[in-house]
């Protein structure tokens, strides 16, 4: 039985690449760290702090917790100012609307609360989610399953009765670790071939394949 669908945000429901990469690059460049946009993009899903750590390590820049926190804070501030660059993927709103009232839904993202709250308000999506879990609510980033398990707990459902919708390898590994079924979509940094290696329960080209997704999630309830 499917009791809930848990969605990732970055690269799954929304194209956030430009806003995320631009905010990281501004902060990292000011810190004397130069990495490619693709380096940052491929790390989407593990959280701002961990991405920042890996970038600084890549540039052999020493840092302590105080510096890391200040860089993360500045990055979040910049990204919050760039929400106008974010676009929902085609089919996102339609899929969420089709699921409304049929199963519980949650958003489980490694983006911060300030950014997500602003984006959900701007995109008029708050009504589609029963619960929202962000990086600020957990201590372990994907591929650890904490964010998905927290969402299931808040929804009051068993992890085994959840389906996760994800675009990243980090995300699908987290879903598997949570013992949840998952739908993979190659709309982010990872290719169809990379996601297939994780053996998803369903893989679709895009959210526009609404009927295919609904049939998998709802079955005869659709």
CATH code for position 72: 1.10.150
pLDDT of residue 23: 97
Parallel, antiparallel, or unpaired: how do β-strands 87-88 and 14-15 relate?
antiparallel
Reading the block at residue 23, the tokens are 């905010």
The whole domain housing 39 covers 17-84
Average confidence (pLDDT) over 198-220: 94
Task: Verify that 54 and 96 share a domain, yes or no.
Answer: no
Local confidence band at 45 (pLDDT 50, 70, 90 cut-offs): confident
Q: What is the mean pLDDT of the chain?
A: 95
Reading the block at residue 33, the tokens are 């760290």
Task: Verify that 41 and 137 share a domain, yes or no.
Answer: no
Average confidence (pLDDT) over 157-165: 98
Task: Verify that 111 and 169 share a domain, yes or no.
Answer: yes
Cβ 106 vs Cβ 132: under 8 Å: yes
Judged against a pLDDT cut of 60, whether residue 206 lies above it is answered with yes
Task: Verify that 37 and 78 share a domain, yes or no.
Answer: yes
Judged against a pLDDT cut of 60, whether residue 165 lies above it is answered with yes
pLDDT of residue 222: 41
- The count of domains in the chain is 2
Task: Verify that 29 and 73 share a domain, yes or no.
Answer: yes
pLDDT of residue 24: 97
Q: Which of 35-49, 96-110, 139-153, 199-213 has the lowest mean pLDDT?
A: 35-49
Average confidence (pLDDT) over 45-68: 94
Task: Verify that 38 and 148 share a domain, yes or no.
Answer: no
pLDDT of residue 186: 96
Task: Verify that 167 and 106 share a domain, yes or no.
Answer: yes
Judged against a pLDDT cut of 80, whether residue 80 lies above it is answered with yes
Percent of the chain's residues with pLDDT above 90: 95
Task: Verify that 66 and 127 share a domain, yes or no.
Answer: no
Judged against a pLDDT cut of 50, whether residue 58 lies above it is answered with yes
Cβ 79 vs Cβ 115: under 8 Å: yes
Average confidence (pLDDT) over 22-32: 97
pLDDT of residue 95: 98
Parallel, antiparallel, or unpaired: how do β-strands 131-133 and 104-108 relate?
parallel
Task: Verify that 116 and 216 share a domain, yes or no.
Answer: yes
Judged against a pLDDT cut of 60, whether residue 177 lies above it is answered with yes
The CA-atom distances, in angstroms, between 155 and each of 35, 149, 222 are 39, 10, 21
Task: State pTM to two decimals.
Answer: 0.93
Judged against a pLDDT cut of 80, whether residue 158 lies above it is answered with yes
What is the distance between the alpha carbons of residues 50 and 31, in angstroms, rounded to a whole number?
Answer: 16
Judged against a pLDDT cut of 70, whether residue 21 lies above it is answered with yes
Local confidence band at 220 (pLDDT 50, 70, 90 cut-offs): low
């Amino acid at each position: 039985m499917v009791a809930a669908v848990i969605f990732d945000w970055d690269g799954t429901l929304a194209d956030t690449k430009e806003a995320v990469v631009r905010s990281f690059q501004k902060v990292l460049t000011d810190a004397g760290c130069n990495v490619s946009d693709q380096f940052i993009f491929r790390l989407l899903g593990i959280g701002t702090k961990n991405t920042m750590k890996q970038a600084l390590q890549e540039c052999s820049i020493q840092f302590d917790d105080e510096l890391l926190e200040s860089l993360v804070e500045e990055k979040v501030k910049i990204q919050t100012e760039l929400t106008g660059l974010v676009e929902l993927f085609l089919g996102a709103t339609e899929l969420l609307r089709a699921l409304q009232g049929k199963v519980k839904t949650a958003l489980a993202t490694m983006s911060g609360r300030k950014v997500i709250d602003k984006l959900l308000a701007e995109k008029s999506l708050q009504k589609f989610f029963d619960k929202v879990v962000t990086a600020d609510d957990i201590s372990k980033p994907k591929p650890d399953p904490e964010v998905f398990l927290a969402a299931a707990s808040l929804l009051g459902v068993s992890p085994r009765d959840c389906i996760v919708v994800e675009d990243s390898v980090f995300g699908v590994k987290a879903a598997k670790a949570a013992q949840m079924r998952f739908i993979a979509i190659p709309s982010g940094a990872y290719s169809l071939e990379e996601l297939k290696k994780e053996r998803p329960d369903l893989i679709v080209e895009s959210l526009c394949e609404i009927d295919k997704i609904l049939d998998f999630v709802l079955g005869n309830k659709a």
